Structure 1
Amino acid sequence: MKKPNYKKELIMLPLLLISIALCIGGHFILQPSYQNNHWAEYSLAALPFLMFAIVIIAIKIAIKSDKED
């Protein structure tokens, strides 16, 4: 069994924080005061694609980290 390398795992922490910020921002945009804005609609539609991109980046980082070990 491999020893965990916490430094490599901490590299993914900013991706987690960005994803949390996107979730909170998405819920903030869902407020009724932003209901009639077109930019809010497009922003909410783009959120899943941004989160999917973050997942792809995280997978690439994990694969690269695994190959180095």
Structure 2
Amino acid sequence: MKKPNNKKELIMLPLLIISIAMCIGGHFILQPSYQDNHWAEYSLAALPFLMFAVVIIAIKLAIKADKEE
């Protein structure tokens, strides 16, 4: 059984924090006070693509870490 490498797992922690911040930011932008702003609409439309990019980066980091072991 392999011993887990905590350093490689901690590398993905900023990606988790970024995705949490995007989720909270998306809910914040959904407030009625921002409903008429065009930038809010574009930001909400871009959020899924940004989250998908974060997932791709995390997968690449996981594959790289797995190959190093």
TM-score by length of 1: 0.99
Q: Aligned partners of 2:2 and 2:31: how far apart in 1?
A: 47
Identity percentage of aligned residues: 88
**What amino acid sits opposite 1:59 in the alignment?**
I
Cα distance, 1:2 vs structure 2: 1.2
Q: Which runs of 5+ in 2 are unaligned?
A: none
TM-score by length of 2: 0.99
Q: Aligned partners of 1:17 and 1:34: how far apart in 2?
A: 24
Instruction: Find the counterpart in structure 1 of residue 41 from structure 2.
Output: 41
Q: CA RMSD in A?
A: 0.4
Instruction: Find the counterpart in structure 1 of residue 8 from structure 2.
Output: 8
- Structure 2 matches for 1:1-69, cutoff 5 A? 1-69=1-69
Alignment length (residue pairs)? 69
Q: Which runs of 5+ in 1 are unaligned?
A: none
